[in-house]
Structure 1
């Protein structure tokens, strides 16, 4: 019998790559997704890569009744990985209620439904935004979390607090919160990558769509930050490295190797790159010149964030393997593949 894992938001960018890694590690996967920022074609692409067609269920997790029905049907699952969430920082500043409603209702309905059906292992898709504006760098898991600059980030912080309360009250429930830094890149097959609806909010798809002409000009939000070139610095991590960390976390919970009911791990490379570093690396890697322009800072952004990854190395045995060049090349291959 294969262990069954429910993946919410499994048609999304990080979710789909994680589904591939789970299948390749012999897990049975059930994807729950409302396709609000993804496509059902992703399920077919997962099949093309793995030879396995995962079970897909179209459900809006904000709907408590539908969520309960799905989890009752799949109560033989051992674990849930929860990716389902809106994730655009700028949009969350403009539409905070949309983010609080979607991200918190979907979380609450999921953990409630799984608990009622005896599924007591949970992995949460969190974010480095929970650290707000950190006083020191690099950021360790002991760095104090504080009020993030965006409602998006605040939903992640609030979710972690909810999980903290739940694991203290329900001693059978265990969770790992994985705090991502900045995932970019695509699957080496060219069949999976980041494909947001509308104008991208994340840097890499913004760059690739500007490079292929889908977007007229790349806007660089702020060149007056206190950094080496004035543009924000982030810790970029290849999405496949990130996906592999989820599989390790799954095994940690199922094998009862976790040391606390709720654990936190930073997932990054420990290296900070500025926006201009990424732009220059893209141009050098692809030979394509980008049409970009500096504009005002974007609400909710902080000057720099990069991780200390020691804890993930020590406890999970995980280290990011792919560098910025590989991240950019795979992103560009994906962009060209979906436009041909």
Structure 2
């Protein structure tokens, strides 16, 4: 790689974002990160003198490379223009947005304003500055209740069970319309399944601001003693042990998938949709047992009623990403759990922990 290739990363201080920034640095790209700390503000009080949040300070320490950072909001178009006026971006990787499924049902207008409105702002500024390459952080929630398994990219979308999933679906539709009208755009819609784990160093990981919305951060917080027990929502599903089955993917594999998209830009691929998952489903209780084995800690749980909108089983078909991107998940369940425990045990209070 000769001339510096700048990549704009919105929401790059968050869980998936920070791991992707690390992979970008390792591959020779120069990430320019913008974040407003809405999902990643723990540790902001320990930000460096340059104003960089703790998650990215640690990425710099791990890579020995510097991150360009702006604290700003994607709803602030003037802030976006300011960043774009400084750098000639190869591509934008767009993570920024509100992401709590339950919360989205209580404050849906905030989710539409931030997720959909923010993306429109971003795309309009990209057009102004002649940047036409975009990698979008979508979600398997766009599929709704599976009509068949494994879920492939041809499965029907739009039957979303919550406003968060609807924002991802609406953004996908907006970006499809954009590409149809302006075929010079290269757009990747990456449908994530369930990211877990952390960087193998244990220095960066998932740090939920409040009670975790996802299974494995909750499991790890029970194991470390931050929470008394895990609630398992339903044990009467038609699965091996009655608990819900999901496709869990190591966050580092997910981050590597974004870098694979950047490599694909040389082919001018147009609009592409890829599942990023492992193709393997695990039940809630299988995940608990795997984490207990990796951590040596007991994770007490109680079975409670099903949650509205939950389905029995969801897992991905991953052939397309392998055939077209040369990408597949390399890290298995044991590694996911071991790395998650390394992060949680080294940082019992997340980025707010004092770590020597």
TM-score of the superposed pair, with normalisation by structure 1: 0.96
- The corresponding residue for 2:311 is 302
1:70 aligned onto 2:80: no
Secondary structure, aligned partner of 2:213 = coil
Per-residue deviation at 1:257? 4.7
- The corresponding residue for 1:256 is 267
For the Cα contact (< 8 Å) 1:43–1:53, is it kept in 2? no
Q: Distance in 2 between matches of 1:29 and 1:152?
A: 27
Q: Distance in 1 between matches of 2:241 and 2:100?
A: 25
Unaligned runs of 5+ in 2: 42-52, 349-354
For the Cα contact (< 8 Å) 2:186–2:268, is it kept in 1? no
- The corresponding residue for 2:283 is 274
Q: Distance in 1 between matches of 2:192 and 2:159?
A: 17
- The corresponding residue for 1:123 is 135
Q: Distance in 1 between matches of 2:335 and 2:213?
A: 21
- The corresponding residue for 2:44 is none
Q: Distance in 1 between matches of 2:323 and 2:221?
A: 38
Unaligned runs of 5+ in 1: none
Secondary structure, aligned partner of 1:167 = helix
- The corresponding residue for 1:292 is 301
TM-score of the superposed pair, with normalisation by structure 2: 0.92
Moved over 3 A (4+): none
Mapping for residues 142-221 of structure 1, pairs under 5 Å? 142-221=154-233
Secondary structure, aligned partner of 1:178 = strand
Mapping for residues 13-162 of structure 1, pairs under 5 Å? 13-39=15-41, 40-74=53-87, 76-162=88-174
Report how many residues are paired: 336
Per-residue deviation at 1:41? 0.6
Per-residue deviation at 1:105? 1.5
Secondary structure, aligned partner of 1:78 = strand
Per-residue deviation at 1:222? 1.9
1:320 aligned onto 2:329: yes
Q: What are the Cα deviations for residues 18-59 of structure 1, in whole angstroms up to 9, with x where unaligned?
A: 101101000011001001111411110111110112001001
Q: Distance in 1 between matches of 2:304 and 2:84?
A: 46
